[in-house]
Amino acid sequence: MAVALLACAVFSVQTIPAHAQDAMPAADEAQQTEAGVMAVENHWTLAEMTGDTVWLDHMLLPEYRSVGDNGAAHPKDAIVAGAAKRRGTSLDQAKLKWAAYQRDHAFGSAVVMQGNTAIVSFYDTSLGPQKGVRSSDIFVYVDGQWHALYSQHTAVRG
């Protein structure tokens, strides 16, 4: 997820146990709803911050790409490898760091759904969802689960 990638840059020294996916939030993730896809977004952030590569490898589609604000594309393998460097960070530690990041960097989110596709955008609250989009993630709902296909980041900062 876009916010997850931003959080990873901020918390690049974090990591978690391999069994962490068992402790990650799973409520509503299987629902084909806005709440379901946002639950996956939250899990994604914590998975990257804790190094939960098993969950990330399953959730990110093989074709997944994350395009940074400089236009450079990063494939799934790079995202999973980056998260692996943070393996060993506890879930509690990640949640505290994520809460601090959210407190210091106000952002809103918007979800657009059409059929089995969802676009989640994160925006600077001082600029709003029309002028302040920081990142967007595109998900597809396949076999009862949300999977990320693409993320786009921008240089917008309020």
Domains, the chain, with CATH or none: 2-153 (3.10.450.50)
Write the pLDDT tens digit of every residue in 33-79.
Answer: 999 999 999 999 999 999 999 999 999 999 999 999 999 999 999 99
Residue 22 predicted with pLDDT over 70: no
The CA distance from 90 to 100, in Å, is 16
SS3 assignment, position 156: coil
Write the pLDDT tens digit of every residue in 72-105.
Answer: 999 999 999 999 999 999 999 999 998 998 888 8
From residue 47, alpha-carbon distances to 56, 105, 126 in Å are 7, 20, 28
Read off the pLDDT of each residue in 122-131 and give the average, rounded to a whole number: 94
Which helix (H) or strand (E) element contains residue 110? strand 107-114
Nearest residue to 139 (alpha-carbon basis) of 68, 38, 50: 38
The CA distance from 84 to 51, in Å, is 5
Taking the whole predicted model, whether its pTM rises above 0.95 is answered as: no
